[in-house]
Structures are given as C-alpha cells and as structure tokens.
Chains A and B, each alone.
Chain A
C-alpha cells in the first residue's frame, strides 16, 4: 500500500525550548528524529527535545544517496542492517507518510579474482544471517542491468557480481520529515536554529546542554550529530575514534530508460542509482583527507564520472545537473558507534560515515530502547564505543562501499 505524498501531518514548531526535558537529542537528522519518534511511540517518553543547529535534515540525511541495503560482511552488521531494511519496508504504514520506497536490488560488480572471493564470501555470510544475496555471472548481470559494459571499458572487465535482492532506495527528506511529524504530533519539541554550544555538568554527569538562548536541563543528552560530533563529545570529555571526511555526490539530467538495479563496484568504489525523477544519482569514495568543507570539487566529479562511465557507458550522454558534498564521520573500524560513552547522562549515535541513511529506523529504535530502559538491545551491543579499548572491533571496511 502506498500513502499519498501530501499525507504528512504538520510539524509543530515551538517558539522556545522548555527549561528542562527528560531527553535532549542534539541533531535533527534522520537518527535524531527517529530516536525521538520511537521514544514517543514505543516508550511514551514525550518530554523530549530535538535541537538542530540549522534546519532539520540539512546535514547528511539530506545529502546522502539514499541506498538501503544489508549486504555487509560481518554477522553483527548484517543482522542490524537487515532489521533496518525490513523496518523500511513497513515505514509508510508506521509513520503514515509516503517515503517513495522502492526495492530495486543492488549489484556489486567484481573485477578481480580477489574481489570474486570477497563477494562469494559475502553471499554465504549474508545467507547465513538472513540477508538475500546471491552470486551472479556476467550473463545474468547483463539481464539485470542491460546497460552495463561487461568489458568495463577495456579496463575493468566484470568477472561476476553479488546481487543483493532486497536493496532499495527511499526519499530521504520524506523519511526524516515523517519521523519529525510523528514525534512532533506526540509532543516532542523540535527546535531549529538552536545550536548546542556546550554541555551542562553536574558532578561527573552530563545534565543538560548550553545554547545561545541559555542552558536546557536534561536527564539524558543524546548526540545524534553528524559531522561535528568530535567537538560535542569533547565537551563531555569523551574522545572518539572518528575522522570527518567530505563525500561528494551528483545527479545527472533525466535518463529516459530504466536502470534495473542499483549498480556498485567494490573495485571502483562508486555507486549509481536512478532517482524517482529518472535522474542518475552517483556517489563514490570520500576524500582521503579529513575536512569540514562542503565544497564540491571538479576533480572529485571527474574521478567519479571516469569510473562510472567505464561500467555504464550511457552515462557519457548525460550531463551533471547538481553536485554537493556532505561531511561523514568515519570511525576507525568503518562501523557505527551507538550507546553509552562512559559519562553518565551522555549517549552517542555516531560514526555513521557513509552508511547512516539505511540505519535510520533500526538505529532510532535501538537508541530509544536504550534511553527508555537503560539497557542496550542485543542488536547494537557490538557497536559500543568501548569496543575499541576492549579490542573487539566490528571491522567491516570492505562493505562500507567506500574507502
């Protein structure tokens, strides 16, 4: 069933925050808003504020390439993302807003024997953990994506591909606005243009946030910040294994035919999907050097275009309409960080790097449960911040779709 696009209930915009909340969520992106939504709907916690420095969905939630997939390489990650992927399927009914969800499948092409081994292993571990991924031959790939050049422009010949059947896309701003509206209707305060400049301390614990309008007391502060999380965590004395790198993306003009599947390449590290409007949406690896610059660069566009036209030659006929960049929090082991920080009253959901959009439903649900019950659900237990000190990494670099 699909819900009409204009069905979104209005968001209530309070003029000013209350002086105190049970929960203050810093960051009005997908993760912050979905956490607020599940706090209100699943745990009846509505004395909650979401503080956004700019306007909601102005950060990476509104800048990513909206791919939903669960074809990771480690059981912990596959189970988490598979749960999120399944939540996305029912999200229109859950939040009562059209999110333009489309299951298209994703093919990850392999161009070397090493990559073939990696993709075969991916298919096996995916199947074992409940995600549907199968190995396909070049001929089968041609059936799924007739536009593909199996010779890879003579440079990247395609030896095979893993086909993740449940790969999907959804409209990012609809997802976040749907969560925002649902949370707002149940009493959550969403405050835009309210930057958090520091934290309020009470002894060893965090007891609120500082804003230009004055302090706001909070039982729990959750950082759902994308991009500037290191600075916020530093106010709590928490150090994070995160570097912030820009990632560029662009869309072309309309392509009249249909691209049957999302196409990604482990070797070339780039991915292309078709938007609802028929435009081709292309992203690739993040910049090698960390920075907070959202300036899109010609050299990045040229590099992405070079790679993708080798696999999909028809892209040469299209023109780049718009390009942009987002700043991604990349953790040391290329997995997210969710849960307690060792400082009472201060939680984080971060390290969402280039894989955050797909995790919005499951991440928000899990963080809401942690805040409401004080116990992290088993699904996110492997993603604790202290895994680094304990040397229990969730190192899944090869599944991040970037490097």
Chain B
C-alpha cells in the first residue's frame, strides 16, 4: 500500500489523501494555440516511472503538497 509524506502530518496512508494530478506547466489560454489548451485539459503524460504530483491531505491537515512518486512500483520517492 502507498504511504505519502505530508509536510505537516508526517507519513500517512494514501486513503487520507485526494489525488490532484501530475504537475504540469501552466499554459496561457489566450496566447497559446487551441491544441495546447486541449492537451492541458484532456491529455495525460501517464508516465511509467518517476513523476511529480499534487496531493491534498483531506483527512489530515487539509493542505496541498507536492510529492514525487515512482508509478511503476507505486511508492513515494524523495
């Protein structure tokens, strides 16, 4: 089972968190071409390996944190 490190509450089980998606570069909806907006809204990198994600500690301190995770084995990495 996946355990995640919350900066306020320490190492906690994944059930306490809400997954917020991978961290992606913000695009400018006015200046960027439509294709880039469509990509940002719908498409995912869905990497098999290291990724950086946002997680919300809903059953804990109620704050967002950024976590590095290896998706091929589903563990947090520092």
Contacts and interface: CB of A to CB of B under 8 A. Distances in A.
Contacts of A291: 69, 71-74
A291 B14 CA distance: 13
A88 B46 CA distance: 33
B15 to A, nearest CB: 7
Contacts of B74: 246, 287, 289, 291-293, 295
B44 A292 contact: no
A322 interface: no
A219 interface: no
Contacts of A1: none
A389 B17 CA distance: 31
Interface in B1-29: 1-2, 13-15, 17-19
Nearest to B34: A389
A293 B42 CA distance: 24
B42 A241 contact: yes
B43 interface: yes
A290 B45 CA distance: 11
B31 interface: no
Nearest to A331: B42
| B13, B42, B43, B47: residue with the most chain A Cβ atoms closer than 10 Å | B42
Contact of B48 (A292, A299, A332): A292
Nearest to A231: B48
A240 B71 contact: no
A353 to B, nearest CB: 13
A388 B38 contact: yes
A350 to B, nearest CB: 11
B19 A240 contact: no
A244 B43 CA distance: 12
A290 B47 CA distance: 9
A292 B13 contact: no
- Classify chain B: how many residues form its interface, as a range: 20 to 34
B43 A289 contact: no
Given A230-B46, A241-B44, A289 B39 contact: no
A228 B45 CA distance: 12
A172 interface: no
A161 interface: no
Nearest to B38: A389
Contacts of B42: 241, 332, 388-389
Interface string B30-57: 0000010011001111111000010000
Given A239-B39, A288-B19, A293 B46 contact: no
A47 to B, nearest CB: 32
Contact of A242 (B14, B19, B46): B46
A371 B11 CA distance: 51
A246 B71 CA distance: 11
B2 A289 contact: yes
Interface in A237-270: 239-244, 246
A216 B78 CA distance: 41
A93 interface: no
Given A289-B14, A289-B74, A240 B48 contact: no
Nearest to B43: A239
A297 B42 CA distance: 30
Contacts of A292: 48, 71-72, 74
A279 to B, nearest CB: 25
Contacts of A298: 1
Contacts of B46: 230, 240, 242-244, 290
Contacts of B1: 297-300
Contacts of B43: 239-241, 388
A388 B35 CA distance: 11
A299 B13 contact: yes
B37 to A, nearest CB: 10
Given A289-B74, A290-B46, A291-B71, 13 more contacts: A241-B43, A244-B46, A287-B74, A289-B2, A289-B53, A290-B44, A292-B72, A293-B73, A293-B74, A295-B73, A295-B74, A297-B1, A299-B13
Which 3 residue pairs of A and B lie closest in terms of their CB atoms, listed nearest first?
A291-B74, A293-B74, A230-B46
Interface of A: 228, 230-231, 239-244, 246, 287-293, 295, 297-300, 332, 388-389
16 contacts: A230-B48, A239-B43, A244-B48, A244-B71, A246-B74, A287-B74, A290-B46, A292-B74, A293-B71, A298-B1, A299-B13, A300-B1, A332-B42, A388-B42, A388-B43, A389-B35
